[in-house]
Amino acid sequence: MKSYYLLGILALGIGACTHSGDQPSLPQLMDGSQTAPTAKKIPEELTIHDDTRIDNYYWLNQRENAEVISYLEAENEYTDGVMAPLEGFQEVLFTELRAREKEDQETLPYKYDNYYYYYRYIEGGEYDIFCRKEGSLEAEEEILVDNNQRGAGYGYYSSFETVSPDHNLMMIMTDTVGRRNYSVQIKDLTTGEYLADAIPNTTGNTVWANDNRTIFYAKKDMVTLRSYQIYRHTLGTDPATDVLIYQEDDEKFNTYIFKTKSRKFLVIASSSTLSSEYQILNADTPKGEFRLFQPRQENHQYDVSHINDHFYMLTNREGATNFMLMKTHEDATGEENWETVIEHREDVLLSGLTTFTDHMVLSERKNGLTQLRIMKWNGEDDHYLDFGESAYVANVGTNIDANTTSLRYNYQSLTTPSSTYEYNMETREQTLLKESPVLGDFSRENYTTDRLWATAADGTQVPVTVVYRTEKLEQGKNPLLVSGYGSYGYSRDPYFRMNVLSLLDRGFVYAIAHVRGGQELGRQWYENGKFLHKKNTFTDFNDCTEFLLEEGYGDPARVFAQGGSAGGLLMGAIMNMRPDLYKGIIANVPFVDVVTTMLDETIPLTVGEFEEWGNPKDKEYYDYMLSYSPYDNVEAKDYPNLLVTTGLHDSQVQYWEPAKWVAKLRELKTDDNLVLLQTNMEAGHGGASGRFNAYYEVALEYAFLLDLAGIQE
Residues acting as catalytic residues: 565, 650, 685
Give the separation between CA 466 and CA 451, rounded to whole angstroms: 7
Give the separation between CA 389 and CA 432, rounded to whole angstroms: 17
**462, 517 in Cβ contact below 8 A?**
no
Give the separation between CA 460 and CA 453, rounded to whole angstroms: 9
**448, 415 in Cβ contact below 8 A?**
yes
Give the separation between CA 182 and CA 172, rounded to whole angstroms: 9
Nearest partner of 329 among 304, 298, 364, 358, judged by Cα = 304
As a whole number of Å, the end-to-end CA separation of the chain is 25
**20, 709 in Cβ contact below 8 A?**
yes
- What are the DSSP E strand ranges found in 581-712? 584-588, 641-647, 675-680
Phi and psi for 510 in degrees, rounded to 5? -110, 130
- Pairing type for strands 243-247 and 254-259 reads unpaired
Q: Go through 124-139 and write b for each residue having 16 or more CB atoms within 10 A of its CB, e for each that does not.
A: ebbbbbbbbbeeeeee
**526, 322 in Cβ contact below 8 A?**
no
Compute the half-sphere exposure of residue 661: CA atoms within 13 Å on the CB side of its CA. Answer: 36
**664, 43 in Cβ contact below 8 A?**
no
**107, 118 in Cβ contact below 8 A?**
yes
Q: Go through 56-93 and write b for each residue having 16 or more CB atoms within 10 A of its CB, e for each that does not.
A: bbbbbbeeeeeebeebbebbbebbbbbbbbbbbbbbbb
Which amino acid type is present at position 401? Answer: D
**636, 668 in Cβ contact below 8 A?**
yes
**265, 237 in Cβ contact below 8 A?**
no
**119, 130 in Cβ contact below 8 A?**
yes
Packed helices 693-708 and 66-83: angle between N→C axes, nearest 10 degrees: 60
